[in-house]
Amino acid sequence: MKASIEIAGVDAAMVVFEAVVDKHINQQVHVLREMVIAAQPTWLSDAVAAYHTLLVVYDIQRTTYAQVQQFLQSQLEQLQHQKLTNKKATVHEYFVCYDPEFGPDIERVSHVTGLSIDEVIQRHSEETYHVYTIGFAPGFAYLGDVPEALQVARLDTPRTKVPAGSVAVANQQTAIYPRTSPGGWNIIGRVAGWNEQSGLRLKAGDHVRFIPVTMQRFLALESGASS
Amino acid sequence: MTSYPALRIDQPGLLTTLQDWGRFGHLSQGITRGGPIDERAFLWANKLLGNTATAAQLEVTLGGLSVTALKTSYWVVCGAPVTVTKSQQPIPTWEVFRVNAGERVRIDAPERGLRSYLAVAGGFTARPVFGSIATVTRDGLGGLHGDGKPLQSGDELHAGSFESAQVVPFRRPQHDLIPRVSSTTELRIPMIPMAQYAQFEQHAQQSLVQQNMQVTAKQDRMGIRLQANQPIAWTQPQIISEPLPLGAIQIPPDGQPIVMLNDCQTLGGYPKIGVVSWSGRMALAQATAGTALRFEITTLEQAQAEVKQAYRFFNLNL
């Protein structure tokens, strides 16, 4: 597993693995992040895992880049000897209503992919998704991989307002919009009982499953969630 | 902690937000840091009042703020050159003044620059969200009510208690220590090559430092778009999104650089060619549209030395 350590800012270093979107590599990034945090270096300010990169923010009053680089190098060496995948990922399950009222793009996705709406729902919900990274907005989790048959490009023109809890797809990724915001992904459904805190419970490396529900069940779950 | 009612907002102006030093340690949840864009002006204001270095202040963008003091206290306004009036009488900026309950203080639109900082003795208080009261509108976090909203007419802000013996009225920095904000001289912006720098072709690396660029009106607390006559070309395939550090210079497909500021998103998918130094970022914090600038390459050692010096001077221990 090759990785390099680079300057990423006035107070930041970046560990860069092979530049591909790959679950195995992404998992290494998450394990490295946990190792860095577990080592509790006094200078550690933040550690952010993305697909193939780990940003490490450090306190320049307590350390130097050279020391951080050396520390990360030794963590990388330990990572090579570590057995991965023995840790069980946390699984989050969400009830999703794929009705066009909540998924205004589901008909378009069906048209573009040549799948029926029922097949779109089936393909989207039969997968267990991996949280590659969280970013863009608080609690916005990039989930993958969307089955190839269901992959659709982003919208040409982003919407100015996507409701919180909307489930969306774009290329090999799927996501839940954590709060009402602009967005350019294809909206295919809505999570029942979602609130603005829900996204913040997701962590990179977790797993996510979507369970299709009818409009009736969705409304029952919504009223249950708000009472 | 005891607090006192400090002021009421009569007119918030274009954009006035509550900012402390920022929200740290939550980047992996997609939560950005926020905090004052002009950190130097902010640190000066707290230093002059004898506040802790990170005590919360009002960040006033393009002036237009009018407030009424609710209690006798000491205040200071630092940042862009601007006319400040107390009971309609002009008072100096960068100098601590006493304000009596009921007096009205107004910050006009700045002559040059963008941002002013109004600090009060003791610092403003509010309920912290993820450890900070910094307002980040796009994250919907922080501020007076915790929801990321800018301040509005009628909002009443409290401040922490302070020892009046510690506050020295009329205290101001030596004249030559007050950062100048110029709209005519070209800014020199030190930057460290990083991230995808080596993957840019040589002519792109050269055109980054060999031409003057201009600050555009397309700027906010997230970032500043620049205008370059010779766009910086990225000829490689798209990159996979990466964590986006503060001060990063992103190159979008049109080749016009974007410098990322405090409210920037935590991940970015555009290639980065460098990261701006602290003094460079502080200069950009007050740069209005049309300001000319030129990037110049510096080293990490130099960039860190200036931050360490500043933190020592302002007694900032994070």
B245/A8 Cβ within 8 A? yes
pLDDT at residue B318 is higher than 80: no
How far apart are the CA of A70 and the nearest CA of chain B, in angstroms?
A: 16
pLDDT at residue B166 is higher than 80: no
Per-residue pLDDT at B168: 76
Question: Looking at the complex, does the CB of residue A170 fall below 8 Å from at least one CB of chain B?
Answer: no
Cis peptide leading into residue A145 (ω within 30°): yes
Q: What is the pLDDT averaged over residues A174-201? A: 94
Question: Looking at the complex, does the CB of residue A200 fall below 8 Å from at least one CB of chain B?
Answer: yes
Q: What is the pLDDT averaged over residues A142-151? A: 96
Q: What is the pLDDT averaged over residues B288-303? A: 97
How many helices and strands (H and E) does chain B possess? 4, 21
* Chain B residues within 8 A of A10 when measuring between CB atoms: 192, 247, 275, 277-278, 300, 303-304, 307
Query: Which residues make beta-bridge pairs with B56?
Result: B124
pTM of the model as a whole: 0.93
Question: Looking at the complex, does the CB of residue B237 fall below 8 Å from at least one CB of chain A?
Answer: no
Per-residue pLDDT at B1: 55
pLDDT digits (tens, 9 = 90+) for B186-236: 999 999 999 999 999 999 999 999 999 999 999 999 999 999 999 999 999
Nearest chain A residue (CA) to B25 = A46
Query: For an interface test with B, which of A15, A48, A179 has the most B Cβ atoms less than 10 Å from its Cβ?
Result: A48
Q: Name the burial class of residue B283, with classes exposed (0-12), middle (13-18) and buried (19+) by CB atoms within 10 angstroms of its CB.
A: buried
pLDDT digits (tens, 9 = 90+) for B244-284: 999 999 999 999 999 999 999 999 989 999 999 999 999 99
How far apart are the CA of B313 and the nearest CA of chain A, in angstroms?
A: 13
A48/B243 Cβ within 8 A? yes
**Cα distance between residue A144 and residue A23, in whole Å:** 9
pLDDT at residue B169 is higher than 90: no
Could you tell me what percentage of chain A is helix, strand and coil, using 3-state DSSP and rounding each to the nearest 5? 30, 30, 40
Per-residue pLDDT at B180: 83
The number of beta carbons lying within 10 Å of the beta carbon of residue B207 is 19
Q: What is the pLDDT averaged over residues B292-301? A: 97
Average pLDDT taken over every residue of chain B: 95
Sign, CA dihedral B130-B115-B157-B313, equals positive
pLDDT at residue A68 is higher than 90: yes
pLDDT at residue A63 is higher than 80: yes
Q: Between B254 and B182, where is the model more confident?
A: B254
pLDDT at residue A1 is higher than 70: no
Question: pLDDT tier at B123 (50, 70, 90 boundaries)?
Answer: very high
Strand extents, DSSP E, chain A: 4-9, 12-16, 44-49, 53-58, 91-97, 129-134, 141-144, 159-162, 166-170, 173-176, 181-183, 186-191, 207-213
pLDDT digits (tens, 9 = 90+) for B72-99: 999 999 999 999 999 999 999 999 999 9
pLDDT at residue A86 is higher than 80: no
pLDDT at residue A88 is higher than 90: no
Question: Looking at the complex, does the CB of residue B305 fall below 8 Å from at least one CB of chain A?
Answer: no
Sign, CA dihedral A113-A114-A117-A122, equals negative
| ipTM of the prediction | 0.93
Per-residue pLDDT at B17: 98
Question: pLDDT tier at B289 (50, 70, 90 boundaries)?
Answer: very high
* Chain B residues within 8 A of A137 when measuring between CB atoms: 30, 138-139, 265
How far apart are the CA of A222 and the nearest CA of chain B, in angstroms?
A: 23
* Chain B residues within 8 A of A59 when measuring between CB atoms: 318
* Chain B residues within 8 A of A179 when measuring between CB atoms: 140
* Chain B residues within 8 A of A53 when measuring between CB atoms: 240, 242-243
Q: Between B267 and A83, where is the model more confident?
A: B267
pLDDT at residue B167 is higher than 90: no
